[in-house]
Chain A
Amino acid sequence: MEEISIIGQVVGGKFGDIIVRQKAGTILEIGDLLVSEEDSSFLILQVFALQYGSQIQERMQQMMSGVNLEQGVIDAQFYEPEFVNYVLARIKPLARVSKSDGQVKIPKSMPSFFNKLRLISNKDLEFLKKGGDQIFVGHIRSGTKVIKEAEVWLPAEDVFSHHILIPATTGRGKSNLVKTILWHVLDSNKVGALVLDAHDEYYGRRGPGLKDHSNAKNNLVYYTPSSPPAGANRLSINLQSIRPEHFEGIVEFSDPQFQALRTYHRRAGDTWVTEVMRVDPDTVAMNGDNPNRGEFAAVTLSVIQRKLRLILGLERDEEGNLISRHEVFDSTTRGLTTVDDIVNNIEQGKVVILDTSRLGDEAELIVGNIIASRLLYRYKEYKSTGELARKPVATVVIEEAPRVIGEEVLTRKNDNIYSTIAKEGRKFKVGLTAITQLSSVIPKTILANMNTKIILGNEMKQEREAIIASASQDLSEDDKNIASLDKGEAIVTSIFVPFAMPIKIPLFEEMIKEHQGSPKATKTKVF
Chain B
Amino acid sequence: MRFAHLSDIHLGFQKQEALQKIEQEVFEKTLDECILRKVDFILIPGDLFHNNIPEMRVQKFAFAKFRQVHDAEIPVYVVYGSHDSSPVANSVIDLLAETGYITKVTRVKESENGKIALDFIQDKTGVKIAGFSGLKAGKDREYYEKLDRDSLESEPGFKIFLFHGGISEVKIEQSQEGEYMPLSFLPKGFSYYAGGHMHRFLHYKYADYLHVVYPGTLFSGYHSDLEENAKGQRRGFVLVEFDDKVTSVEFVEIKNADYEIIEIDAENRKADSVNKELADKVKGIDSAGKIVIIKVEGELTSGKTADVDLSAIREYLSQSGALAVNINKNKLTSREYKITEAKGKDKDEIETNVFKENIGQLRFEQKELIGDPGVLLAKKLLKELGQPSLENEKKMEYLQRIKQGAFGILELKIDDS
- Chain A residues near B (Cβ < 8 Å): 217, 227-234, 236, 333-338, 340-341, 344, 519-527
| C-alpha gap A227/B188 in the complex (Å) | 10
Q: Quick check: B169 and A335 within 8 Å, CB to CB?
A: yes
- Closest approach, in angstroms, between the C-beta of B131 and any C-beta of chain A? 11
Q: Quick check: A524 and B168 within 8 Å, CB to CB?
A: no
- Chain B residues near A (Cβ < 8 Å): 80, 85, 87, 106, 108, 111-114, 116, 132-133, 135, 142-147, 149, 168-174, 182-185, 204, 206-208
- Closest approach, in angstroms, between the C-beta of B90 and any C-beta of chain A? 11
Knowing A334-B169, A336-B171, A526-B108, say if A234 contacts B183 (CB, 8 Å): yes
Q: Quick check: A524 and B142 within 8 Å, CB to CB?
A: yes
Q: From DSSP, what is the main secondary structure of chain A's interface residues?
A: loop
Interface centre among A229, A233, A344, A526 (most CB of B within 10 A): A526
Q: Quick check: A336 and B172 within 8 Å, CB to CB?
A: yes
**Selected contact of A333 from candidates B87, B114, B172, B174, CB within 8 Å:** B172
Return the chain B residue nearest A238 by Cβ. B172
**Selected contact of A229 from candidates B106, B132, B135, B184, CB within 8 Å:** B184
Knowing A337-B172, A527-B87, say if A233 contacts B182 (CB, 8 Å): yes
Knowing A227-B208, A337-B171, A337-B173, say if A524 contacts B146 (CB, 8 Å): yes
Q: Which residues of A contact B174 (CB under 8 A)?
A: 337, 340, 344
Knowing A335-B169, A337-B173, A527-B80, say if A230 contacts B144 (CB, 8 Å): yes
Q: Which residues of A contact B172 (CB under 8 A)?
A: 333, 336-337
Q: Quick check: B170 and A333 within 8 Å, CB to CB?
A: yes
Q: Quick check: A230 and B135 within 8 Å, CB to CB?
A: no
| C-alpha gap A343/B373 in the complex (Å) | 41
| C-alpha gap A334/B212 in the complex (Å) | 13
A-B Cβ contacts below 8 A, count = 77
Q: Which residues of B contact A334 (CB under 8 A)?
A: 169-170, 204
- Closest approach, in angstroms, between the C-beta of B271 and any C-beta of chain A? 29
Q: From DSSP, what is the main secondary structure of chain B's interface residues?
A: loop
Knowing A337-B171, A527-B106, say if A234 contacts B132 (CB, 8 Å): no
Q: Quick check: B111 and A523 within 8 Å, CB to CB?
A: yes
Q: Quick check: A228 and B106 within 8 Å, CB to CB?
A: no
- Closest approach, in angstroms, between the C-beta of B104 and any C-beta of chain A? 9
| C-alpha gap A335/B170 in the complex (Å) | 6
**Selected contact of B149 from candidates A230, A337, A524, CB within 8 Å:** A230
- Closest approach, in angstroms, between the C-beta of A21 and any C-beta of chain B? 63
Q: Which residues of A contact B171 (CB under 8 A)?
A: 336-337, 341
| C-alpha gap A232/B169 in the complex (Å) | 11
**Selected contact of B111 from candidates A229, A333, A524, CB within 8 Å:** A524
Offer 29 A-B interface pairs, CB within 8 angstroms, sorted by A: A227-B208, A228-B182, A228-B183, A229-B184, A230-B145, A232-B182, A233-B184, A234-B169, A234-B183, A234-B184, A234-B206, A334-B204, A337-B171, A337-B172, A340-B174, A341-B168, A341-B171, A344-B174, A521-B114, A522-B114, A524-B114, A524-B143, A526-B111, A527-B80, A527-B85, A527-B87, A527-B106, A527-B133, A527-B135
Q: Quick check: B80 and A233 within 8 Å, CB to CB?
A: no
Return the chain A residue nearest B207 by Cβ. A227
| C-alpha gap A525/B114 in the complex (Å) | 11
Q: Which residues of A contact B149 (CB under 8 A)?
A: 230
| C-alpha gap A335/B116 in the complex (Å) | 30
Return the chain B residue nearest A387 by Cβ. B343
Q: Quick check: A519 and B168 within 8 Å, CB to CB?
A: no
| C-alpha gap A230/B185 in the complex (Å) | 5
Q: Quick check: A228 and B145 within 8 Å, CB to CB?
A: no
Q: Which residues of B contact A526 (CB under 8 A)?
A: 106, 108, 111, 116, 132-133, 143
- Closest approach, in angstroms, between the C-beta of B203 and any C-beta of chain A? 11
| C-alpha gap A57/B104 in the complex (Å) | 97
| C-alpha gap A234/B143 in the complex (Å) | 20
